[in-house]
Amino acid sequence: MVRAAVLNANAAIYAAMEADPGLRGMGTTATVLLLNDHSAVIGHVGDSRVYQLRDGRKVFRTFDHSWVFEQGRQGTLTEEQARNSSQSNVITRALGHTTELEEDVVERAYRKGDRFMLCSDGIWGMCPEPDIIAKAAATRSLAGAVETLVVSVDEEGMRTGATHDNLTIAMVETSIHSKLKDKMSKKFQYVIATLAL
């Protein structure tokens, strides 16, 4: 369902450009979160992100489809250098660029109280990631967390000359454990096996 939604959105944007040459070059990122009692399904194209936070820590984040992120994966740039790079807005995948879209779709287990944050680069691009995660987990209310992030990012943008990008953020908190369970890490499996001896 998530994959179909992303592909349908891509096809609609591409068709609009074909019908109106004035729209050529149009494109957008996509982040999709489908929560049900079984799991969280995340669809992603571009450099907007989905974070899964638990007890104030990041347990998952989508990988940006961007030139600087690829440089980070290759060890050429640190994450902070990538975030501050003048090339940080060069994305390698987006809706509308091609009819043969390559989207990422993952399924995640979640626990009661996990927070999922969907945000554009206007949010994550203004502050180091640890600051964003701390602010996203700082208040008990989701509205308070969203407001804290938006205000702090906007203030940082104004402080640096009002050159910051637009801000888009949504946050949801789970009220149950998913039926899908987290896989045990290899390290934890080793500890269990050792204790069983």
Tell me what pLDDT residue 49 has.
Answer: 95
Question: In a 10 Å sphere around its CB, with 0-12 CB exposed, 13-18 middle and 19+ buried, how is residue 51 labelled?
Answer: buried
Give the strands of the sheet with 49-54, arranged side by side: 57-61, 49-54, 115-119, 169-173
Which is nearest to 47 in space by CA: 76, 89, 81?
89
**Residue 164: pLDDT band with limits 50, 70, 90:** low
Average pLDDT over residues 3-17: 94
167 three-class SS:
coil
Mean residue pLDDT of the chain comes to: 88
- Does the pLDDT at position 195 exceed 70? no
Euclidean distance between CA atoms 118 and 171, whole angstroms: 6
Euclidean distance between CA atoms 180 and 108, whole angstroms: 8
Tell me what pLDDT residue 70 has.
Answer: 83
Contact between residue 118 and residue 169 where contact means Cβ atoms under 8 Å apart: yes
**Residue 174: pLDDT band with limits 50, 70, 90:** very high
Which residue is associated with the tokens 């009661």? 112
Strand bridging mode 30-35 / 40-45: antiparallel
Euclidean distance between CA atoms 133 and 188, whole angstroms: 25
Tell me what pLDDT residue 117 has.
Answer: 97
pTM of the model: 0.86
Tell me what pLDDT residue 196 has.
Answer: 58
